[in-house]
Chains A and B, each alone.
Chain A
Amino acid sequence: MDLLAILSIVVEPRILGTILLCTLYGAFVGAMPGLTATMAVALLVPFTWFMDPVQAAAAIVATTTTAIFAGDISGALLKIPGTPASAAYVEDSFRLSQTGKPRTTLFTSLFASVCGGVIGVAILAYATPQLAQLSRSFSSDEAFWLATLGLSCAVFVGGPSVPRNFASLFIGLAVATIGIDVAVGHPRYTFGVMELYDGINFIPAMIGIFALSELLRNSALGRQAHLGKLVVEPLFSAIRDAWREFRKRWKNVIRSASGGTVIGALPGAGADVAAWIAYAVSRRFSKTPEAYGRGHVEGVVDGGAANNAAVAGAWTPALVFGIPGDSVTAIAIGVLMMKGLTPGPDIFTNDTVLVYTIFGSFFMANVLMLLTGGLVVALATQILRVPRAVLMPLILLLSMIGGYAITGSVIAIWIILALGLLASGMIWAGMPLAPAILGIVLGRIVEDNFMVSMMKSRGDLTEFFARDTAAVLGTLTLLVWAALLLRAGWSFFGNRTSSK
């Protein structure tokens, strides 16, 4: 399949038009709180019936790609991460936009996302068979180790106080235990509320922890506290600054994008996990790790590149096995099958054109996202010019509708309220919020896979090292955790003696 042939399909007006429309649609949906990429794709399905397979795949791909990026927009402007994938760096992007650089931040994030997406597609196009081989060997043992490794990010995304970081992580993990357990199906800490049986939904949880706690903090500042209007910088200087910022960090982008693609391709880990790990790695290797979580653009670049790359990676198991990596690819598989195409190893030989057009559409969607994403950023940042007495009530209402849209019931609003109060308490206690979110995201994955593995091996812990990939991952995880705990203990007690 030569590149020219693919390109000629993708730039065909019908396909190009579809991609353009869908990037606009994805940007709009992603920027609205509570409207997820999954919802956007589900609503798209009826339209795909009138499309040919190439066009349908292009539409889904373009919508997802931009929706994941656009999640950054509401995150930076309103502190409501549009998708869980934006949660890792929402603290940074929000603070940056509060200091008068909303457009620079979002354009930097846009450049990183586009670049991350393109790198993701490139890897996908060249390495799908190899990535598939890797994900083929993933059972609950490997997934458990990967998630446990992910939990170690808590140390990097937190604040200076080690016990507070861990307390925050454990609070998040505690929230994640709510709901039916996987092993015996027993409801835990649900107090008889049926709708909690499936656990605390991420989106209302994030809205509560980030957005409501921010609103509560704002209201506690009181009316008398003079709230100055926020500055929105001119469009062109913002783009110029963003480009400069982005060019300085191209190494970060390449690192995070390639890592993000691999993580996205692994079963049980998606764009959100990719963003967290990229953010933590970025902080670990940064020259200014102390600036993270306080409005540092480096974390935004890394996280933004990683989650868009992971979106591409998630298609690997879907295309190669027909196993959906997430709910978006689950719907995509359904659509492809309706077009008479069965995902699987054969799709690479039987429908080569289609497979490479999917890659081509990914590429085009990312390029066009520069345009449509930029447009939405330019428009959306206008809302910061709105007076606070208008903006804050709107954010409050949007948060609650967003939660309601996810669960279809008011349980989401109660979750928002409970976690908003919890987060307010944590802020008062001086605890960082990021480790708690990480705990909520990963808690279930860690526990479910642990329990499944234990049930398979009938309680034999050595089984966690019985498989090759698991043994490597497990050893690595244990080493990382041992090093982290030793260092934490040493600095904690070392500090005490020195301060005496």
Chain B
Amino acid sequence: MTLRRDFVVGAVLIALAIAMIWGAQGFPRIRAMPYGPDLFPKIIAGGLIVSALGIILEGIRDIRSGRIDDSAGRDRITTLAALSFVGIVALVAGFALLLPVLGFHVAAALVLLCAVRIFGGNWVLAGIMALSAPVVLHYIFYSLMRVVLPWGVLAPYAW
């Protein structure tokens, strides 16, 4: 990690701001007025750029004052931790994709099975959780609170 964190953050924010301005190009105008839906995105993008420059300035100031970048050490993460991170992200994305197809019970059971493993539980615990929790949560949200959770493949057995 040779790049200072401040510079990376500043660059990302400026890139985001440019993307916002670029995206706002095609917005229509209000009739007979010099601005429209593009006004606020452009003001916000401007604010992002100023803030980003401020963050970069802070970084330069820290270098000049000889303060060490403490981010490098803190960000050293193990492969296992990185895998867990990616695992959770994949679980959320997977749940979003599978929920309408498989239905709540199956999708929730799969999520729990994997999540318990990621957070360090053993297979037995994962199995118990996957079988029991979806039923309880389904009762609370679907039967009591009338939240329409999809049935998916279990539709023939729906109640």
Q: What sequence of 0s and 1s flags, for each residue 1-43 of chain B, a beta carbon within 8 Å of any chain A beta carbon?
A: 0000100110011001000100110011110111011001100
CA distance A470 to B24 in the complex (A): 30
CA distance A166 to B53 in the complex (A): 11
B85 near A397 with CB under 8 A, answer no
Q: Which residues on the A side are within 8 Å of B146 (C-beta)? A: 43
CA distance A170 to B17 in the complex (A): 10
A167 near B84 with CB under 8 A, answer no
Q: A71-79, A283-291, A317-325, A385-393: which lies at the B interface?
A: A385-393
**79-112 of chain B: CB within 8 A of chain A:** 80-82, 84-85, 87-89, 91-93, 95-97, 99-100, 108, 111-112
For the residues of B in contact with A, the DSSP-based class is: helix
B148 near A170 with CB under 8 A, answer no
CA distance A32 to B44 in the complex (A): 34
Q: Which residues on the B side are within 8 Å of A35 (C-beta)? A: 141, 145, 147
A222 with B78: in contact, given A188-B37, A393-B115, A397-B115 (CB under 8 Å)?
Answer: yes
B149 near A401 with CB under 8 A, answer yes
Interface size class of B (residues with CB under 8 A): 35 or more
> Which of A164, A398, A417 is within 8 Å of B55, CB to CB?
A164
A171 near B84 with CB under 8 A, answer no
Q: Which residues on the B side are within 8 Å of A394 (C-beta)? A: 112, 129, 133
Q: Which residues on the B side are within 8 Å of A417 (C-beta)? A: 89, 92-93, 96
Q: Which residues on the A side are within 8 Å of B111 (C-beta)? A: 393, 396-397, 400
CA distance A398 to B58 in the complex (A): 40
CA distance A188 to B21 in the complex (A): 11
Which of chain A's residues has its CB closest to B134's CB?
A: A397
Please report A residues at the B interface, Cβ cutoff 8 Å: 29, 32, 35, 39, 43, 161-164, 166-167, 169-171, 173-174, 177, 181, 183-184, 186, 188-189, 212, 215-216, 218-224, 227, 387-390, 392-394, 396-398, 400-401, 404-405, 408, 410, 413-414, 416-417, 420-421, 425, 428-431, 443, 447, 450-451, 454-455, 458-459, 492, 495-496, 499-500
Please report B residues at the A interface, Cβ cutoff 8 Å: 5, 8-9, 12-13, 16, 20, 23-24, 27-30, 32-34, 36-37, 40-41, 44-45, 47-48, 50-55, 57-58, 61, 64-65, 71, 75, 77-78, 80-82, 84-85, 87-89, 91-93, 95-97, 99-100, 108, 111-112, 115-116, 118-121, 125, 129, 133, 137, 140-141, 145-149
Can you list 17 pairs linking A and B with CB atoms under 8 Å apart? A35-B145, A166-B50, A174-B20, A174-B45, A177-B41, A186-B27, A188-B24, A212-B92, A218-B119, A219-B88, A389-B120, A390-B129, A396-B115, A400-B111, A429-B9, A451-B30, A459-B34
